[in-house]
Amino acid sequence: MTPKWGVVIITALIVLTGLIEVMMGRPIVSKTGRIMLWVGDTGSAELSQQIADWYTFSHVIHGFLFYGALRLLTRRWGVSVWTLAAAAVFIEAGWEVLENTSFIIDRYRATTLAQGYYGDSVLNSVCDILACAAGVALARVLPVRISIAIVIVIELAMLWFIRDNLTLNVIMLLYPFESISRWQTAG
């Protein structure tokens, strides 16, 4: 895939995801109507509604992981970087749609630190996809060791600052542990 077509396909995926979420009834922006660059308070109703928050870093990690996994799976096929990037964005876009279904929203509320979570705004979902694309771009140009180090640093920083990260989020979503939940809410 050429760079031009890569950009066209990635842009189309992002626009399509936004349209699907609007049709699902997701708000385009926060219910308050405000648009903010950063929300650092994990207890705020603006979390997952704005351009970026602590969980944006998890989407950057998605980019590293999706790129790495796709690269490993396709290394013998000579797949272009743009095809890998489009595939990673496709996976992320699919997750964003799934994440905003009542099934996943209810699961998050029941099992994770996000008891007040009511889904993402379209703005937040689009920015999460862009964060994943940024992770893909970084994974493409950085040595594997540096990519792994960045993922570890992000995970540890999130653990330190908000007692949550991608690893804990996946664990608590799939198989919640009461001890993790108690530790997370104690902070």
In a domain, 5, yes or no: no
The pLDDT tens digits for 137-146 are 999 999 999 9
89 vs 70: CA distance, rounded Å = 11
The answer to whether 86 and 160 are in contact (CB under 8 A) is no
pTM, to two decimals: 0.93
In a domain, 125, yes or no: yes
The pLDDT of 79-105, averaged and rounded, is 95
Provide the terminal-to-terminal Cα distance of the chain, rounded to the nearest Å: 47
Phi-psi sector, 121: left (phi>0), alpha (psi -120 to 50), beta: beta
In a domain, 44, yes or no: no
pLDDT at residue 8 in the model = 96
Number of domains in the chain: 1
The answer to whether 82 and 6 are in contact (CB under 8 A) is yes
In a domain, 147, yes or no: yes
The pLDDT tens digits for 21-72 are 999 999 999 999 999 999 998 888 898 899 999 999 999 999 999 999 999 9
- Domain with 102 in it: 50-186
Look at residue 115 and tell me whether its pLDDT is greater than 80: no
The pLDDT of 80-88, averaged and rounded, is 95
In a domain, 43, yes or no: no
